């Protein structure tokens, strides 16, 4: 089966696209380019589908324009999956690289039954991993008690999953990587592979080259954030424990 691989890439980042195409060709993948939304080119006064107050309360810092653009870029990719009618698709960011056995492992993941709506193919961390199923290629998929896992660099999504996410993930009140994995909130079935199918290339961040620390509120202004995260931690643990 042919599984579309959609790659999110800014128009001004032609070099990143060209390098991604070269990396993908090594594993016989021909990515479909999804033009990214350039949040830095949009006046914050014109940010639509954005809950500014909710973001500040939930996340405890000022939002970044690039985060806004990244979020809408993933929504654009989900729209592609829905409109194309593909049963599955992979969505990656342009700093993704592919393990040499990417395709056979990916195809085996599409045959899991019941099929998860989303399978994350890369994470920054995996703590408290609880296995749920094993693919024919030997990949164990599951959920983690601890989180967030970090990164939306690459994931496999079904068309049904894309529909669920598209309906539930707007308006924006969290960065996309955090919102994506909150299956207990948006209702999609989210799992992750214990061993990644992707790896990240070393490149400068297009979202926050200076890091996130300058955007954080003082600690006393982050009390609502702490309460939200505490509640979410319990909900994550309960979600991970479910079958």
- pLDDT band, residue 209 (cuts 50/70/90): low
pTM of the model: 0.95
| C-alpha to C-alpha distance for 215 and 58, rounded to whole angstroms | 14
User: What is the arrangement of strands in the sheet containing 88-93, beginning at the earlier edge strand?
Assistant: 32-35, 5-9, 88-93, 154-158, 118-120, 190-193, 140-144, 129-134
Backbone CA torsion sign across 222, 226, 232, 236: positive
**pLDDT for residue 60 is more than 70:** yes
| C-alpha to C-alpha distance for 173 and 156, rounded to whole angstroms | 23
How many CB atoms are located within 10 Å of the residue 233 CB? 14
Which residues on neighbouring strands pair with residue 208, listed in sequence order? Answer: none
The pair phi, psi for residue 198, each rounded to 5°, is: -125, 165
| C-alpha to C-alpha distance for 213 and 189, rounded to whole angstroms | 32
- DSSP conformational letter for 202: -
Q: Which region among 74-78, 91-95, 128-132, 198-202 has the lowest average model confidence (pLDDT)?
A: 198-202
**pLDDT for residue 170 is more than 70:** yes
Q: Which has the closest alpha carbon to 207: 91, 77, 18, 36?
A: 36
Query: What are the pLDDT digits (tens) for 122-162?
Result: 999 999 999 999 999 999 999 999 999 999 999 999 999 99
The three state secondary structure string of 2-40 is CCCEEEEECCCCHHHHHHHHHHHHCCCCCCEEEECCCHH
Q: Which has the closest alpha carbon to 8: 38, 34, 42, 46?
A: 34
Q: Which has the closest alpha carbon to 33: 3, 5, 12, 13?
A: 5
**pLDDT for residue 76 is more than 70:** yes
Q: Quick one: pLDDT at residue 207?
A: 73
């Amino acid at each position: 089966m042919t599984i579309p691989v959609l790659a999110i890439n800014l128009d001004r980042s032609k070099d990143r696209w060209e390098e991604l195409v070269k990396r993908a060709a090594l594993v016989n993948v021909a990515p479909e380019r999804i033009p990214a939304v350039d949040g830095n080119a949009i006046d914050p006064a014109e940010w639509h589908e954005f809950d500014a107050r909710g973001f500040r309360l939930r996340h405890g810092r000022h939002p970044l324009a690039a985060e806004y653009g990244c979020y809408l870029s993933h929504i654009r990719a989900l729209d592609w999956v829905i409109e194309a009618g593909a049963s599955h698709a992979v969505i990656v960011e342009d700093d993704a690289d592919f393990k040499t056995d990417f395709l056979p492992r990916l195809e085996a993941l599409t045959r899991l039954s019941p099929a998860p709506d989303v399978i994350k193919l890369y994470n920054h961390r995996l703590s408290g991993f609880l296995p749920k199923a094993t693919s024919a290629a030997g990949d164990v998929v599951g959920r983690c008690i601890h989180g967030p896992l970090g990164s939306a660099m690459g994931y496999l999504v079904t068309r049904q999953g894309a529909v669920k996410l598209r309906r539930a993930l707007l308006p924006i009140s969290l960065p996309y990587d955090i919102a994506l994995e909150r299956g207990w909130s948006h209702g999609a079935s989210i799992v992750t592979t214990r061993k990644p199918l992707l790896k990240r290339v070393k490149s400068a961040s297009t979202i926050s080259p200076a890091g996130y620390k300058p955007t954080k509120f003082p600690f006393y202004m982050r009390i609502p954030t702490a309460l939200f995260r505490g509640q979410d931690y319990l909900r994550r643990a309960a979600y991970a424990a479910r079958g």
